[in-house]
């Protein structure tokens, strides 16, 4: 019988879930040995289309199970259960420099999964699929509460897990960008009260043209300590990129910010320590002549801070860190010398006698933007710098398959790190706080 006239069945289970949950894609009711293309499409909030696809051959029973069968080609190869998400890329003809990130965490990301006859590589939107299904992936689990925060001139969003609490908490700092909520929302979905803090674009910053002082981060930490649904002695810090600089600075020098543990992703300890926050960017700018530009006009920023300085006034004294610290490092990070910095921080902590507090997760062929699992790998992207207000294209680095593995593995180990130091050290959380139900 002609495949086109069969009632081909496609199932994606679960069809609704968190973005870090895996799903199973199964195609059935196909003759054995038929070449098929399984395709994923997503239209982001900015209106841009993203797609991934893989080629399969139906088995003797006339089916394809993406979690068990190997892709013969496409945007990924081999047995990759979530390859249709982490290998997403802009559709042909899209403008260069795009990056996929969720803006409104109160709505799902919708993906259309479809199956097509033959090995297809393009023109999917012009073809009639044999079968298709829309699936939803969420950053906010049912019951998670999103609460804007403006107290004490803070610009932040608090996410509280479902249930009465109190909960361990995480102060979440991104890099040199506007307020980013999706990681904090996902952490709340996994049982942690999470405060996503905007520290470069609040009104006070724009009015004074200065970045936030240490007191701003101390107020944010104090806000969590005083919140009735937060365990005051179970608060962690999480930083990515420039957020790591802030996190390490607080760990070493603040008399107020005393977290139970901390995680730094793709960051460095190199910064002038006797200076105001805005002076850190001035420090970076003076080395801008060391920035390299590749043949695609993408900027390689990491060279600004290499080699790692030996001047103790120009790097955080991590020997002063007094809580467990997890460093997540991409060895192909082209934006910051995170790998080289991790080596230097380890040596500094060994000399200070506190290296027992340090754990390093280092991933080969992994770039700067280490995101939650199954996020598409972004090798480079364009953005307008909050610091210079100029549009630039940065090379982040990484290879797609290795980077995808690093995101999945580091997320799993980061959650385990937080659970061990924030939950397990005090009490075991109910299973309902750790598993979202849709």
pLDDT averages per 10-residue partition of the chain, 438 residues:
72 97 97 97 96 98 97 98 98 94 96 97 90 97 96 92 94 88 98 94 58 85 97 96 95 96 98 76 85 93 95 96 98 97 98 98 98 97 73 94 98 97 68 60
Catalytic entry in 87, 114, 241, 410: 241
- Is 421 labeled as catalytic in the residue annotation? no
Q: Is 426 in the active site?
A: no
Burial of 5 (0-12, 13-18, 19+ CB in 10 A): exposed
pLDDT at residue 202 in the model: 65
Q: What strands lie across the sheet with 167-173, from one edge to the other? A: 145-149, 156-160, 193-197, 167-173, 230-240, 261-265, 325-330, 358-363
Residue 127 pLDDT: 86
| List 227, 333, 339, 403, catalytic entry | 333
pLDDT of residue 2: 62
The predicted structure's pLDDT at residue 266? 98
CA distance 45 to 58: 35
pLDDT of 206: 56
Sort strands 89-90 and 64-65 into parallel, antiparallel or unpaired.
Answer: unpaired
CA 13 to chain centre: 24
Q: For residue 1, what pLDDT is reported?
A: 43
Q: Active-site residue 368, yes or no?
A: yes
Q: Supply the pLDDT for residue 278.
A: 67
pLDDT of residue 311: 95
Please tell me what DSSP assigns to residue 191: T
pLDDT for position 74? 98
């Amino acid at each position: 019988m002609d495949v086109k006239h069969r009632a081909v069945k496609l199932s994606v289970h679960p069809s609704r879930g968190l973005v870090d949950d895996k799903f199973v894609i199964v195609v059935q009711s196909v003759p054995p040995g038929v070449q098929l293309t399984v395709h994923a499409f997503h239209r982001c909030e900015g209106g841009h289309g993203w797609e991934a696809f893989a080629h399969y051959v139906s088995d003797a029973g006339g089916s394809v199970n993406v979690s068990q069968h190997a892709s013969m080609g496409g945007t990924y190869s081999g047995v990759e259960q979530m390859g249709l998400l982490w290998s997403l890329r802009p559709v042909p003809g899209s403008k260069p420099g795009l990056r996929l990130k969720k803006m409104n965490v109160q709505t799902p990301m919708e993906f259309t999964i479809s199956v097509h006859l033959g090995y297809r590589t393009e023109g999917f939107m012009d073809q009639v699929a044999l079968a298709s299904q829309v699936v939803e992936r969420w950053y906010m689990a049912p019951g998670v509460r999103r609460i804007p925060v403006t107290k004490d001139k803070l610009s932040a969003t608090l996410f509280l897990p479902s249930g009465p609490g109190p909960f361990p908490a995480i102060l979440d700092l991104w890099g040199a960008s506007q307020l980013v909520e999706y990681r904090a929302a996902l952490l709340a979905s996994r049982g942690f009260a999470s405060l996503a803090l905007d520290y470069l674009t609040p009104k006070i910053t724009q009015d004074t043209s200065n970045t936030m002082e240490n007191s701003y981060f101390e107020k944010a930490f104090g806000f969590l300590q005083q919140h009735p649904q937060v365990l005051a002695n179970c608060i962690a810090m999480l930083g990515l990129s420039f957020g790591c600089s802030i996190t390490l600075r607080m760990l070493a020098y603040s008399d107020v910010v005393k977290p139970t543990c901390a995680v730094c992703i793709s960051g460095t300890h190199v910064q002038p320590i006797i200076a105001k926050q805005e002076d850190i960017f001035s420090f970076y700018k003076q080395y801008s002549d060391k920035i390299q530009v590749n043949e695609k006009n993408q900027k390689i920023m990491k060279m600004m801070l290499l080699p790692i300085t030996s001047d103790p006034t120009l790097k955080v004294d991590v020997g002063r860190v007094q809580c467990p610290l997890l460093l997540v490092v991409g060895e192909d990070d082209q934006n910051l010398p995170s790998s080289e910095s991790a080596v230097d921080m380890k040596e500094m902590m060994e000399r200070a006698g506190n290296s027992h507090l340090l754990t390093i997760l280092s991933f080969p062929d992994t770039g700067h933007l280490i995101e939650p699992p199954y996020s598409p790998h972004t090798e480079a992207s364009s953005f307008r710098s909050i610091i210079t207000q100029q549009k630039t294209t940065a090379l982040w680095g990484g290879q797609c398959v290795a980077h995808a593995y690093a995101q999945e593995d580091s997320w799993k180990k980061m959650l385990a790190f937080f659970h061990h130091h924030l939950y397990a050290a005090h009490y075991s959380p109910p299973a309902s706080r750790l598993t979202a139900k849709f």
